[in-house]
Amino acid sequence: MTGSRDLWQFPGTKTAAFAVIVYLYLPILVLIVLSFNASDSSLARWEGFSTHWYAMVAADDNMLNAIRNSGIVACIATLFGTAIATAAALGTARTRFRGQTVVEALIGLPLIVPDIVAAIAILLFFVMIGIKLGLISLVLAHTVFAIPIAYLPIRARLEGLDPALAEAAADLYANPWQTLRRVILPLIWPGIVSGAMLAFIGSLGDVVVSYFVSGPGSTTLPVYVFSMVRMGVTPTVNAVSTLLIAASVSLLTASYLLGRRFS
Amino acid sequence: MKTIVLATCLTLLPACVVPAQAQSSSKELLMFNWSNYTPPDLLKRFEAETGIKVSLDTYDTNETMLAKLQAGGAGYDLVVPTGPTVQTIIRDGLLLKVDASKMSNFKNVRAPFDKPEFDPERAYTVPYMWGTTGLAYDAAKIGGGKIEDSWKELFEPRPEYAGKIGMLKDVNEVLGSAAYYLGYDYCFDKPEQGQKILELLEKQKVAVKVYNSEGTVDRVGGGDVAMELMWNGAFHRAHKKLASAAYVYPREGLNLWGDNIGIPKGAKNVENAKLFLNWMMDPKNAAEASNFTGYNNAIKGSEAYLDPSLRDDPAVNSPEEVIARFRPMRECPKASLDLKDKIWTRLLR
């Protein structure tokens, strides 16, 4: 295949790539640096080095509660969402059945519907069937949104799989369950991991749905930060963001290593 | 057969999910408020004095809080809307009648907060923080002098301030202040009035550096702008960074906003919430909230407990003679809202 080598040979590609990376990551770098800002400005007025914002994060019970809620909801929603998405992908890839287009459209629906519309609809639905708002309602809503996000990479990976491998496994007396467990799943594992990653990040960053569907005591971190806008955003937000970035980077590294194990 | 089983499971699912309702004799209170708006120490003291634990959930604007209440099922015991939103919530029947005016601490509430337009008998809410939107400027630019206490200084600025003016990006603040300057009512709705206001603002736009409601403290405190349409609490914080900053209460009138605490329908701990409402009308507690938020409170006698920097700051602790200039912000009729919308869109195009 001649793909990647040719691309790099286009003049200006390296500069463009570098510029885009700087554009994307410079604000994050500034964010991290300003979390050590001694003054209470989370904009650009540096007044000395200080770690007291991290201490304030540790002392702010409400923020810690929000972090805890975000983490729990993201983990559970990712788990269930990715499991369901894997099942959906296995069921819809490489087959044709009646109503397939409808099914695929339904799976992708949460991605197309505007956030606010979905949020209010889910809230009204929960109230109507009597589900008490809280962590459970949050997890349910987040799982729904995690499914299409995780579905796409897994489906893509499945489509790229050589069908001969499944046939070879059947030839060697493997029943469908063994084929799935020992052949297909390991081969699509990188797709599952990347789907799970995307779902996790999506759940962590979600504001609109989380706001409407959360109940007393289950505020998530983005909602908490968002509501600081009125009174002024302090560098505690920078500190929390830096901690989240550190967590994401370690998570990504772990997933990369995990993903490599099976390829 | 399979479909019947599946259908039965699906219909039974909500029943499994809905947990048993806890009885309301629990010692807890669920508060729905902006974040950074209630001192954590105050809530801890409330818990120490009454044994009731307060937990806090947050929202970012009145509108999103209202949407959640209107959709039902919110389950909070306390909610903190701003004045005009209180009108809407009461009209929708979403607040419990608590007769705050009959509570023991109500005598501490000072005028005009004891009879606000949106809740004339204080039947539903108690006052929390209030603030004004006035004019902040850097006195150093005119050699330490004072500007006139008029909106003229903002809308027809002196050359020393031209090009270094910051404005809030809020239709009610900007258009309201312009309306007061031209002698119109806050809820103006005649097209000629709208036209005059638009002309005034478009002429001023040349001298304006930025329209943004966030970062006012930083840009005034850091000297990026020398004159700003500003909330008084934000001014207080900017003043700490820039000693030469000063605040003016324009004599034509300035916006007054007030936040209020109420109990939404569907609250489970109503008695605990009423206790909290009464407790917040105590001077010492109101002062502690003021010290934390940097805004003034509506309780007589709280001056004794205020932080000296707040008490001595005329921007926060408003002197008697300017109180007559306050114009409470209120919800305007549709014609006025539509006109304001048109002007605002034209201005910011």
Residues B289, B338 share a domain: no
pLDDT of residue A41: 64
Neighbours of B12 (CB within 10 A): 10
List, in sequence order, every residue forming a beta bridge with B127; answer none if it has no partner: B260
pLDDT of residue A2: 52
* H or E element at residue A123: helix A115-129
User: Does A231 contact B14 at a Cβ distance shorter than 8 Å?
Assistant: no
User: Does B59 contact A211 at a Cβ distance shorter than 8 Å?
Assistant: yes
CA distance A41 to chain B (A): 7
Residue B312 exposed, middle or buried by CB count within 10 Å (0-12, 13-18, 19+): exposed
CATH code at position B221: 3.40.190.10
A130 in contact with B, Cβ within 8 Å: yes
Which structural domain, as residue segments, surrounds residue B156?
131-255+327-347
pLDDT of residue B16: 43
CB-CB neighbors (< 8 A) of B259 in chain A? none
Residues B203, B273 share a domain: no
Give a yes or no: residue B18 inside a domain.
no
Return the residue of B nearest to A131 by Cα.
B18
How do residues A51-72 score in pLDDT, each as one tens digit?
A: 888 888 888 888 888 999 999 9
Secondary structure of A68-103 in HEC code, one letter for each residue: HHHHHHHHHHHHHHHHHHHHHHHHHCCCCCCCHHHH
Give a yes or no: residue B1 inside a domain.
no
pLDDT of residue B134: 93
Residues 6+ apart with CB under 8 A from B124: B86, B90, B95, B96, B97, B98, B100, B262
pLDDT of residue B136: 93
A211 in contact with B, Cβ within 8 Å: yes
B75 in contact with A, Cβ within 8 Å: yes
pLDDT of residue A42: 59
Q: Which of B36, B40, B68 sits opposite A212 (nearest CB)?
A: B68
Residues B249, B182 share a domain: yes
User: Does A133 contact B74 at a Cβ distance shorter than 8 Å?
Assistant: yes
List, in sequence order, every residue forming a beta bridge with B33; answer none if it has no partner: B58
Q: Looking at A64-68, A170-174, A191-195, B228-232, which range is the least confident one?
A: A170-174
Find out whether A220 and A70 touch, Cβ atoms under 8 Å: yes
User: Does A231 contact B34 at a Cβ distance shorter than 8 Å?
Assistant: yes
User: Does B75 contact A217 at a Cβ distance shorter than 8 Å?
Assistant: no
Residue with the larger pLDDT of the pair B307 and A248: B307
User: Does A212 contact B237 at a Cβ distance shorter than 8 Å?
Assistant: no
Residues B136, B126 share a domain: no
A232 in contact with B, Cβ within 8 Å: yes
CA distance B195 to chain A (A): 31
Residues B339, B209 share a domain: yes
| Pairing, β B326-328 against β B227-231 | unpaired
**Structure-block tokens of residue A240:** 């929390």
Q: Is the four-CA dihedral A190, A196, A200, A206 of positive or negative sign?
A: positive
How far apart, in whole angstroms, are the C-alpha atoms of residue A90 and residue A227? 41
Residues B241, B148 share a domain: yes
Is it the case that residue A153 has pLDDT exceeding 70? yes
Give a yes or no: residue B8 inside a domain.
no
Give a yes or no: residue B11 inside a domain.
no
A115 in contact with B, Cβ within 8 Å: no
Residues B241, B301 share a domain: no
Residue B253 exposed, middle or buried by CB count within 10 Å (0-12, 13-18, 19+): buried
Report which DSSP code applies to B20.
Answer: P
pLDDT of residue B11: 56
- Three-state DSSP at A2 gives coil
Residue B315 exposed, middle or buried by CB count within 10 Å (0-12, 13-18, 19+): buried
User: Does A123 contact B64 at a Cβ distance shorter than 8 Å?
Assistant: no
Residues B235, B168 share a domain: yes
Give a yes or no: residue B10 inside a domain.
no
CB-CB neighbors (< 8 A) of B67 in chain A? 120, 212
How far apart, in whole angstroms, are the C-alpha atoms of residue A56 and residue A42? 14
CA distance B233 to chain A (A): 9
A68 in contact with B, Cβ within 8 Å: no
Is it the case that residue A165 has pLDDT exceeding 80? yes
Domain boundaries, chain A: 60-261
Total domain count, chain B: 2
Report which DSSP code applies to B299.
Answer: B
Is it the case that residue A145 has pLDDT exceeding 60? yes
How far apart, in whole angstroms, are the C-alpha atoms of residue A216 and residue A59? 21
B128 in contact with A, Cβ within 8 Å: no
Give a yes or no: residue B16 inside a domain.
no
Tens-binned pLDDT, residue by residue, of chain B (349 aa) = 555 655 555 555 544 444 434 434 578 899 999 877 888 889 999 999 999 999 888 888 888 888 888 887 678 999 999 988 898 899 889 999 999 888 898 998 988 888 888 888 899 999 999 999 999 999 988 887 888 899 999 999 988 888 899 999 888 899 999 999 999 999 998 999 999 999 999 999 999 999 988 778 888 988 889 999 999 988 988 888 888 999 999 999 999 989 999 999 988 899 999 999 999 999 999 999 999 888 888 898 888 899 888 888 888 888 888 888 998 888 888 899 899 989 999 998 8
Give a yes or no: residue B335 inside a domain.
yes
A50 in contact with B, Cβ within 8 Å: no
Confidence of residue A50 (pLDDT cuts 50, 70, 90): confident
Q: Does domain A60-261 have CATH number 1.10.3720.10?
A: yes
CA distance A24 to chain B (A): 23
User: Does B73 contact A217 at a Cβ distance shorter than 8 Å?
Assistant: no
What is the model's pTM?
A: 0.77
User: Does A214 contact B57 at a Cβ distance shorter than 8 Å?
Assistant: yes
pLDDT of residue B3: 57
Residues B135, B117 share a domain: no
Residues B54, B164 share a domain: no
How do residues A108-125 score in pLDDT, each as one tens digit?
A: 999 999 988 999 899 999
